[in-house]
Amino acid sequence: MSTSKDNSEGGDPRRPINYAIVPLWKYTDIEKYSVDGGGNKIWKCNFCGKRVKSSYSKVKFHLLCIRGRGIGICEKITEEIKDELKREEEEAENRKLNSTSRM
């Protein structure tokens, strides 16, 4: 399974995904972007195949196995993979915090 994507393939060229900010999108196949410009996309989990229409927060809850957030957890994620995904998400959050604190 490939975990990196070229933003120009299959994506919306008007709104390329910045994986430095939202790294967990790269573990999904995005099937359709919202026509109204909102954050919802139709995506499929690369691990379990679950197909959902939602925003990035639901991707995060699904892949990091966070219960009680309106989406089921990914049953195919191992603890080792979850730890790696959590690390990626924390690094992205730190980059966001550091970039806004410099303004």
Total domains in the chain come to: 1
Measured CA to CA, the distance from residue 82 to residue 65 in angstroms comes to 8
Is 64 inside a domain boundary?
yes
Is 55 inside a domain boundary?
yes
Q: Which residues of the chain have pLDDT under 70?
A: 1-15, 34-38, 101-103
Measured CA to CA, the distance from residue 24 to residue 60 in angstroms comes to 7
- β-sheet bridge partners, residue 42: 32, 53
Write out the residue range of the structural domain in which residue 31 sits: 23-101
Note the Cα 25 to chain centre separation in Å: 3
Tokens of 11: 């994506």
Query: What letter represents residue 75's amino acid?
Result: E
| pTM for this predicted structure | 0.77
Is 8 inside a domain boundary?
no
Could you report the per-residue pLDDT of 68-77, keeping only the tens digit for each?
999 999 999 9
Is 4 inside a domain boundary?
no
Is 15 inside a domain boundary?
no
